[in-house]
Amino acid sequence: MLTTRPRGTEDIIAPEADVWQAVEELARTLSHRYGYEEIRTPLFEHTELYARSVGETSDIVSKEMYTFTDRGGRSLTLRPEGTAGVVRAFLENRLYARPLPVKLYYLGPMFRFARPQAGRLRQFHQFGVELLGAGEAAADAEVISLAMEFYRHLGLEELTLRLNSVGCPACRPAYREVLLAYLEPRQHSLCADCLARYARNPLRVFDCKEEGCRQVLAEAPLVTAYLCPECSAHLAAVRDALRLLAIPYEDDPYLVRGLDYYTKTAFEVIVPGIGAQSAIGGGGRYDGLVEAFGGPHTPAVGFATGLERVLLALGVRGKTLAPPAGRKVFVAAADAAGAAAGVELLARLRRAGFTADRDYLGRSLKAQMKHADRWGATITVILGEAELGRGTVTVRHMQSGEQEAVPFAQVVEALKEHLAR
């Protein structure tokens, strides 16, 4: 136990952590470019927040939440997703009084208790964006475009964008009745889960992966055929906007998404070859959520992608991000005088922006050189009493093995020149 992490969690350690940093940096850069600002919400919220937004009948709320009672007797839940917390913060901090739309992004861990498998963890990480206060289809297209740009920059191609509309409170009740009437005589073919939830939220059946349920649904009436004029027009406008942006998509009338807050647009991005958990990202519109929490009418749309799945997809394609440019300098000492001068040089190098290090184990010069090599130094600077007496140090280029004498006072400038090349 003491040396085993909880199931479904991961330690992220270099060099993998370097890839994480690169992916996160891209997420931040792109978000800023699109006019999104960062929001950091708590890792836990009141349990009710998720029950009332993600939905009681969703898998997330009904069986995947990390819910606990704190010492004050309150029911809290580790966030299973980011949208609910952002909407809560939008209201609590009166962000609706700011110029609309309010555009926010977040990066961080989420928690869901599901059976771990490739691409499915209990603690995973999302990059997400939320655009609050705009109802136009162009806003949906912007969110989708940011998502696709993110994947494109990472070199992930062969992605499929699946698009659907799940309707709104004006058209969904009528569709719900039609779907219920269709499912009723077929109840015996549904799995136990679907049977339990179909009466409360029949749309959830579309989310089921069981073969029996899928067969039942093959002939089911589809929500797109029952959209009200406003939802139909919106879906058409999103399609037009995507065409304008040259973003390919596939209509998927079976796509309902696993969260209850969606209205109108729902979309998912699928990547082949990473196993059963092939949805690398997803999102949609949630025009009623802010109001349902007691706020002003605020149409909104957002998206989130799972970073573990992004990394999995990168690995599958053999595309790893380039490691940070090599500017690693090791400062080696041949004797005590060299070690003393090395302390000063090390500080100068770090101040100048180099990744620089030295020996702390009293190693011999030979052992220091071996260590510098294993550490991945591009250059090792060797300092010794005799050379320092002449005012110079030895600069060794680790790859070629070439060495040169450089004046001690000019080492930083000389290395800047070398490593710029």
Q: What is the C-alpha to C-alpha distance for residues 169 and 254, in angstroms, rounded to an integer?
A: 19
Q: How far is the CB of 36 from ligand HAM (least distance, A)?
A: 12
Residue whose CB is less far from ligand HAM, 133 or 384: 133
Residue whose CB is less far from ligand HAM, 256 or 279: 279
Q: How far is the CB of 246 from ligand HAM (least distance, A)?
A: 23
Residue whose CB is less far from ligand HAM, 122 or 197: 122
**Burial class of 222 by CB neighbour count within 10 A (0 to 12, 13 to 18, 19+):** middle
Task: Please answer whether residues 346 and 352 qualify as being in contact, where contact means their C-beta atoms are separated by less than 8 angstroms.
Answer: no
Cα separations in angstroms, 26 against 38, 50, 267 = 14, 29, 22
Containing 183, the helix (H) or strand (E) segment is helix 172-183
The pairing of beta strand 102-111 with beta strand 379-383: unpaired
Q: How far is the CB of 128 from ligand HAM (least distance, A)?
A: 5
Residue whose CB is less far from ligand HAM, 255 or 388: 255
Angle at 313 between CA 311 and CA 319, to 5 degrees: 80
Q: How far is the CB of 319 from ligand HAM (least distance, A)?
A: 18
DSSP state of 204: G
Q: How far is the CB of 333 from ligand HAM (least distance, A)?
A: 47
Structure-block tokens of residue 71: 């010492």
Task: Give just the sign of the alpha carbon dihedral 257, 261, 267, 271.
Answer: negative
- HSE-CB for 178 with a 13 A CA cutoff: 15
Q: How far is the CB of 68 from ligand HAM (least distance, A)?
A: 19
Tell me which residues touch ligand HAM (CB under 6 A): 81-83, 112, 114, 119-121, 124, 126, 128, 130, 258-259, 279-284, 302-306, 308-309
What are the beta bridge partners of residue 330?
357, 380
3-state helix, strand, coil in the chain (%, to 5): 45, 20, 35
Q: How far is the CB of 191 from ligand HAM (least distance, A)?
A: 21
Q: How far is the CB of 309 from ligand HAM (least distance, A)?
A: 4
Q: What is the C-alpha to C-alpha distance for residues 178 and 345, in angstroms, rounded to an integer?
A: 77
Residue whose CB is less far from ligand HAM, 281 or 338: 281
Residue whose CB is less far from ligand HAM, 54 or 183: 54
Q: How far is the CB of 302 from ligand HAM (least distance, A)?
A: 2
Residue whose CB is less far from ligand HAM, 23 or 280: 280
Residue whose CB is less far from ligand HAM, 86 or 369: 86
Residue whose CB is less far from ligand HAM, 82 or 135: 82
Task: Please answer whether residues 175 and 226 qualify as being in contact, where contact means their C-beta atoms are separated by less than 8 angstroms.
Answer: yes
Please state the separation of Cα 272 from the chain's center in Å: 18
DSSP state of 188: G
Q: What is the C-alpha to C-alpha distance for residues 176 and 223, in angstroms, rounded to an integer?
A: 9
